[in-house]
A and B are shown apart, each in its own frame.
Chain A
Amino acid sequence: MDYTSWAYGLLGGLMIGCAAAIYLLINGRIMGASGIVGGLMDGSGRSTWAERVLFIVGLVGAPALLGLVYKLPSTNVTNNIGLLIVAGLLVGIGTRLGSGCTSGHGVCGISRLSIRSIIATLVYIGAGAAIIIIARAIGVLS
């Protein structure tokens, strides 16, 4: 933990916030990753199929292009495939049931002072902190 990662965090955060601000003011859409992807899976929401696909192409494609010229930092993700499948299912179901994730509730909702988003963010941070303690206790996480 050092000041460099805080500075990169702030810079990257400003980029994320500017993307969300442009998406709202120019296109009239809320930039929530789970909503944009989830609508492709079940056809819900206001955005068109093309909007969703284009957004995801940018989201996946821009880091991929950057990766061609610059060595991107590792995700350091666990190699426990079973754990990743359980986690993925929980994130997929949970974000749809709770109508949002870190971008939708955390960034777009909190900045709007939405009470639902503020509560949702506190709850998922609390649940994440609790599961790490539990997973360590039973030896699933190191």
Chain B
Amino acid sequence: MKNLVTLFCGALFGLGLVISGMTDTTKVQGFLDFFGAWDATLVFVMGGAIIPMFIAWRISAERKKSVLGGLIPQSPKTELDRALITGAILFGAGWGLSGFCPGPALASSSFGGLGGVTFLAAMLAGMVIAPPIIRAVKAAP
């Protein structure tokens, strides 16, 4: 049952990304282009996605376990560290250059052609080589 829910959530996420227009890299780059022909679509997508999730966090605050028994994740960490900020800068740079983030890159992999697959392969390679980089950033003085 849990597996079926996981598959369903992945599918709903993928369809939502395609319908919202977020698999179109020009819409994403258009949102980041604040001084050009600004495209507000991403604001509507984010707003639309945050509403149900805001309600879900409120419901989850009153319980320790999810419907199928998994533990509800605990309160998030609050300290801001170098890894978070450096990671967000690197991610934002790659996001702006390509117009792709991980969700849309995966959702469009069946119809995004060679460019999409190239991005995806590089992204997976980046994730593979990330652990020693993360250790180095955290250990740096």
Determine how close the nearest CB of chain A comes to the CB of B107; give it in whole angstroms: 5
B21 to A73, Cβ gap below 8 A?
Answer: yes
Within 8 A of A (CB), among B10-27: 10-27
Q: How many inter-chain contacts with C-beta < 8 Å in the A-B complex?
A: 479
B59 within 8 A of partner (CB): yes
For the complex, give the distance between the alpha carbons of A67 and B111 in Å: 8
B125 to A101, Cβ gap below 8 A?
Answer: no
A103 to B120, Cβ gap below 8 A?
Answer: no
B130 in complex: contacting residue of A38, A50, A87, CB < 8 Å: A38
**Highest count of chain B CB atoms <10 Å: which of A19, A67, A121:** A19
Question: Chain B interface: which size bin?
Answer: 35 or more
Determine how close the nearest CB of chain B comes to the CB of A55; give it in whole angstroms: 4
Q: A24 contacts which chain B residues (CB < 8 A)?
A: 53, 56-57, 60, 66, 72-73
For the complex, give the distance between the alpha carbons of A91 and B117 in Å: 14
Contact mask for chain B residues 98-141; partner A; CB cutoff 8 A; 1 contact, 0 none: 11111101111111111110111111111111110110010000
Q: B105 contacts which chain A residues (CB < 8 A)?
A: 88, 91
Query: Beyond the given A93-B133, A95-B101, could you list 13 further A-B residue pairs with CB under 8 A, ordered by the A residue number?
Result: A6-B41, A7-B44, A12-B21, A12-B48, A37-B106, A42-B128, A59-B14, A96-B130, A101-B103, A107-B50, A111-B49, A132-B32, A141-B97
Within 8 A of B (CB), among A115-142: 115-117, 119-121, 123-133, 135, 140-141
CB-nearest residue of chain A to B48:
A13
A72 within 8 A of partner (CB): yes
**Contacts known (A11-B19, A91-B95); A27 close to B13, Cβ less than 8 A:** no
**Contacts known (A63-B18, A64-B110, A98-B90); A58 close to B125, Cβ less than 8 A:** no
B70 in complex: contacting residue of A14, A29, A34, A140, CB < 8 Å: A29
**Highest count of chain A CB atoms <10 Å: which of B27, B85, B92, B125:** B92
A77 to B25, Cβ gap below 8 A?
Answer: yes
A55 to B130, Cβ gap below 8 A?
Answer: no
**Contacts known (A14-B48, A75-B111, A98-B83); A5 close to B97, Cβ less than 8 A:** no
A128 to B127, Cβ gap below 8 A?
Answer: no
10 A-B pairs within 8 Å (CB atoms) are namely A6-B41, A9-B44, A24-B57, A25-B56, A25-B60, A59-B10, A61-B11, A88-B98, A90-B126, A129-B33
For the complex, give the distance between the alpha carbons of A103 and B37 in Å: 25
For the complex, give the distance between the alpha carbons of A96 and B59 in Å: 29
